[in-house]
């Protein structure tokens, strides 16, 4: 399929993990993709590993999504080069594990500044360009934005904010021909799933017993970044023209259980 031929796309947090998997999928379907990340060197290395044909349509961007002026400059450059923006994927975020005992308002603001405000900063900067021809905005939410879990007040608050930001933005932007949706991943095997001590959450005995052996994840495995690529590509494709304000949960069935 070449659903994204002639389409101009920007994905944040695209140096690795889920953002990179989405970028690879849209590139493989013909898109011109700007891979934006705060870690510009890692983006360059990711593009170096792509097939030549896809790498030729991939542009690295060093971008901190909390920096409003930098976001505006990025979309101004895309305007100069392409004159359009068809797809914006607000995917960048940071992990946070905050037991309530030590939680400070400063930490809460730090996490929500990136994981919630950052998506809006980027969206507002992209709008003047995107609204010229309409387009698709996709956010990466989380099942932690739909349900509570321990030690996660800042992260869950930010992701819950993303969930309802998607719905509110969908109402505001529909008249401009822009749809706004989200994917909500479950347990996905990326660097974000690392524990503070460097270990992997998915390797703990608790996780293996409860989530895999007793099938708290009904499909019996953790997800990989590529599991998100197809659902994301669908939501930003023309096939999803009549879908807006929706959250597509991609979690192997975790939230189907209780
Ligand atoms: N891995 C999971 O289990 C999981 C589950 C649910 C939701 N998510 C969400 O998926 C998205 C992607 O996460 P991932 O698992 O691929 O993690 P990751 O840590 O591999 O990727 C996140 C990327 O965002 C970038 N980033 C962080 N702060 C940034 C900033 N201020 N500006 C620009 N880029 C920034 C990082 O450099 C990194 O490349 C995030 O929104 C995350 O919250 C992940």
What's the number of domains the chain is made of?
Answer: 1
Our answer on whether the CB atom of 90 is closer than 6 Å to any ligand 1 atom is: no
Q: Is the pLDDT of residue 201 over 90?
A: no
User: Could you tell me if residue 86 is inside a domain?
Assistant: yes
- The residue behind tokens 């939230």 is 255
Mean pLDDT of 183-205: 90
User: Could you tell me if residue 112 is inside a domain?
Assistant: yes
The ligand 1 atom at the shortest distance from the C-alpha of residue 225 is 16
What gap in Å lies between CA 137 and CA 77, rounded to an integer?
19
Is 155 labeled as catalytic in the residue annotation? yes
For residue 111, the domain's CATH number is: 3.40.50.720
Domain with 122 in it: 8-188+223-251
Our answer on whether the CB atom of 181 is closer than 6 Å to any ligand 1 atom is: no
Instruction: Give nearest CA residue, ligand 1 atom 13.
Output: 18
Our answer on whether the CB atom of 114 is closer than 6 Å to any ligand 1 atom is: yes
CA-based nearest residue to 134, from 103, 165, 179? 179
pLDDT tens-place string over residues 80-136: 999 999 999 999 999 999 999 999 999 999 999 999 999 999 999 999 999 999 999
Our answer on whether the CB atom of 193 is closer than 6 Å to any ligand 1 atom is: yes
Name the 3-class secondary structure at 178.
strand
Q: Which helix (H) or strand (E) holds 185?
A: strand 178-185
pLDDT recorded at residue 196: 73
User: Could you tell me if residue 1 is inside a domain?
Assistant: no
User: Could you tell me if residue 256 is inside a domain?
Assistant: no
Residue 251 alpha carbon to ligand 1 centre in Å: 16
User: Could you tell me if residue 148 is inside a domain?
Assistant: yes
The ligand 1 atom at the shortest distance from the C-alpha of residue 20 is 16
User: Could you tell me if residue 246 is inside a domain?
Assistant: yes
pLDDT tens-place string over residues 52-68: 999 999 999 999 999 99
């Amino acid at each position: 399929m070449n659903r994204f031929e002639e389409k101009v796309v920007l994905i944040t947090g695209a140096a690795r993990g889920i953002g990179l998997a989405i970028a690879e999928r849209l590139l493989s379907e013909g898109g011109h993709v700007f891979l934006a990340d705060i870690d510009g060197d890692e983006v360059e290395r990711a593009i170096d590993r792509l097939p030549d044909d896809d790498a030729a349509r991939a542009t690295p961007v060093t971008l901190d999504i909390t920096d409003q002026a930098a976001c505006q400059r990025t979309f101004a450059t895309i305007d100069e080069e392409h004159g359009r923006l068809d797809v914006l994927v607000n995917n960048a975020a940071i992990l946070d594990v905050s037991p309530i005992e030590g939680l400070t308002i400063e930490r809460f603001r730090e996490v929500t500044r990136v994981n919630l405000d950052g998506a809006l900063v980027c969206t507002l900067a992209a709008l003047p360009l995107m609204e010229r021809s309409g387009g698709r905005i996709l956010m990466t939410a989380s099942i932690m934005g739909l349900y509570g879990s321990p030690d996660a007040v800042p992260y869950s608050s930010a992701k819950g904010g993303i969930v309802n930001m998607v719905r509110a933005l969908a109402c505001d932007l529909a008249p401009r021909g822009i749809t706004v949706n989200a994917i909500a991943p479950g347990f996905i095997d990326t660097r974000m799933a690392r524990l503070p001590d460097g270990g992997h959450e998915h390797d703990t005995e608790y996780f293996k017993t409860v989530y895999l052996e007793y099938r708290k994840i009904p499909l019996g495995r953790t997800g990989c970044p590529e599991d998100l690529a197809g659902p994301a590509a669908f939501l930003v494709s023309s096939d999803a023209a009549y879908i807006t304000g929706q959250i597509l949960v991609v979690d192997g069935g975790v939230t189907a259980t209780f």
